[in-house]
Structure 1
Amino acid sequence: MTFDGRPDRDAEVVLVGRSNVGKSTLMRELTGHDFTTGKKPGVTRQPNHYDWAPESFMFTDLPGFGFMSGVEEDRREAIKTDVVRYVEENAEHVLAGVLVVDGKSAVDIIDRHTNDEEIPHDVELFSFLQDVDVPPVVAVNKMDKVEDRDARLNELCERLGLYPPWQQWDHIVAPVTAKRGSIEPLREILRERFREAKRDDLLKFVS
């Protein structure tokens, strides 16, 4: 069953990523609107849209994918398929695809799932955004829990095919701590994306 009920908007920023990485909390910081969040993975099962009709723009928090306790594998795969299909079908309207990862665990999770037969979800999705011409942004969340900040960000960039040091990718990689409202690096990247799309009218949403 695919997602339905997408508002008819010309411009969109989508948030994608594994379950329990803080997408909904990040969405709350971007919009000022409180969405259902929880420690139990998989709380978000349908897209959460927050839109502004006059500007024909919205932020969309897509359901998390990957392992979810108590959720069967076929259901997890169906969610991932729906997420991919949603981005693909609406790519022409998406000004940025924000891949949200957990700064503390992302590298370990990627390494755990890397083998000859499997591409880790995070790496796969980052490449997918590029393939469908959706400008990718990596919001590295929960950075308050990361001690070796630069080393960890360098490792993550390397896994995503971005040659370290991570600072040269600061137009793509945004270290944030959504729970504390510390998301200015992400806002700056989105401001640049909006300018590139000649949508200065949207800058007020990331000011």
Structure 2
Amino acid sequence: MSSPPVITTPRTKHDVKRKKNLAKMKSREQKKSVERIEKKNNAVTFEVIFAGRSNVGKSTLLNKLTGENVRVGKRPGVTLKPIHLYYDDFLITDMPGFGFMSGVTPEKAEDVKNKIVSYIEDNADRIKIAVQVIDGPAFEEIVERWDARDEIPIDLELHAFLLELNIIPVVAVNKMDKVRDDEVDAMLDRIAEKFGYDSPWKECGCFAPVCARDGQIRPLTSLLKNEIHKMKRDDLFKYFK
């Protein structure tokens, strides 16, 4: 038995008009969205960014610090563009990770890195502090790998870049739960030396050993509040847990 013929109804003038109206509404909403974002950006005078390699725990650390729910992924490179948290004139930005990104071509990864640099340069006037997140237990091995190729490790290059732009870098040394208590100080001293500091890590005033996964972030909170206090913006403390 043959199937009944499919009857198609020609598009009426009403259908065409409805689709045009929907397209106009969508266009207006997009325009309003852009205008809202521009208005928020124009109001920002103080920004803190979170930057670092892929899969070092930037988003998890930011969530623990603020109580927000920024997307966290198991694959390196989930965040491919800046994610913004607006609080009046205060902005916290989760930057894309640089380095290896799962499922991303080398060309795309390089493009993301260039966009990170451009973003920081373009907004250097309002970026007051950069939380540079590193994987503490893996950091020395990563640096040595780059040194063996006679290349400057991206982490150290980023740190120098931030200082050059007069942005205060705060290094959150993450995943410290994987380090034995009696090895912590020696490891952090070696990391401080890799970053070019002559003093022990505790005297540098820019290193915060943390474990984002377990919520052990008090050293970072203290460092951030100390720097913010110096800038006479204690009103921003309320945005940190």
Q: 107, 115, 136: which one pairs with 1:103?
A: 136
Task: Write out the 4+ residue segments of structure 1 that deviate beyond 6 Å after TM superposition.
Answer: none
Secondary structure of residue in 1 paired with 2:147 = coil
Matched, 1:196 2:230: yes
Secondary structure of residue in 2 paired with 1:59 = strand
Tell me, yes or no, if the aligned pair for 1:21 and 1:102 is still in contact at 8 Å: yes
Percent identical among aligned pairs is: 44
1:39 matched residue in structure 2: 74
Question: Displacement of 1:164 after TM fit?
Answer: 4.0
In structure 1, list runs of 5 or more residues that go unmatched: none
2:87 matched residue in structure 1: 52
Secondary structure of residue in 2 paired with 1:67 = coil
Q: 204, 212, 223: which one pairs with 1:178?
A: 212
- AA aligned to 1:136 is P
Over alpha carbons, which structure has the higher Rg?
Answer: 2
Secondary structure of residue in 2 paired with 1:44 = coil
Tell me, yes or no, if the aligned pair for 1:187 and 1:206 is still in contact at 8 Å: yes
1:13 matched residue in structure 2: 48
- AA aligned to 2:112 is I
Q: Distance in 2 between matches of 1:86 and 1:78?
A: 12
Q: Distance in 1 between matches of 2:81 and 2:227?
A: 26
Once the two structures are superposed, the pairs formed by residues 134-173 of structure 1 within 5 Å of their partners are 134-147=167-180, 148-169=183-204, 171-173=205-207
Secondary structure of residue in 2 paired with 1:91 = coil
If each structure's helix is expressed as a fraction of its own residues, which one has the higher value? 2
Kindly provide the CA deviation profile for residues 56-94 of structure 1, in whole angstroms up to 9, marking residues without a partner as x. Answer: 102111000001232211111111111111111111111
- What's the RMSD between the two structures over aligned residues? 1.6
Once the two structures are superposed, the pairs formed by residues 62-141 of structure 1 within 5 Å of their partners are 62-115=95-148, 117-141=150-174
Q: 89, 94, 118: which one pairs with 1:61?
A: 94
In structure 2, list runs of 5 or more residues that go unmatched: 1-33
| More displaced 10-residue stretch of structure 1: 114-123 or 91-100 | 114-123
| TM superposition score normalised by structure 2 | 0.79
Kindly provide the CA deviation profile for residues 115-171 of structure 1, in whole angstroms up to 9, marking residues without a partner as x. Answer: 5742101000000000011011100011011122112111111110012421112x2
Secondary structure of residue in 1 paired with 2:64 = helix
| TM superposition score normalised by structure 1 | 0.92
Q: How many residues align?
A: 201
Q: Distance in 2 between matches of 1:180 and 1:116?
A: 35
Secondary structure of residue in 2 paired with 1:63 = coil
Secondary structure of residue in 2 paired with 1:114 = helix
Question: Displacement of 1:206 after TM fit?
Answer: 2.9
Q: Distance in 1 between matches of 2:173 and 2:235?
A: 27
Kindly provide the CA deviation profile for residues 147-199 of structure 1, in whole angstroms up to 9, marking residues without a partner as x. Answer: 22112111111110012421112x20000111111111111111111112121
Question: Displacement of 1:19 after TM fit?
Answer: 0.1
Structure-2 change in CA distance of 1:65 and 1:98 (3 Å): same
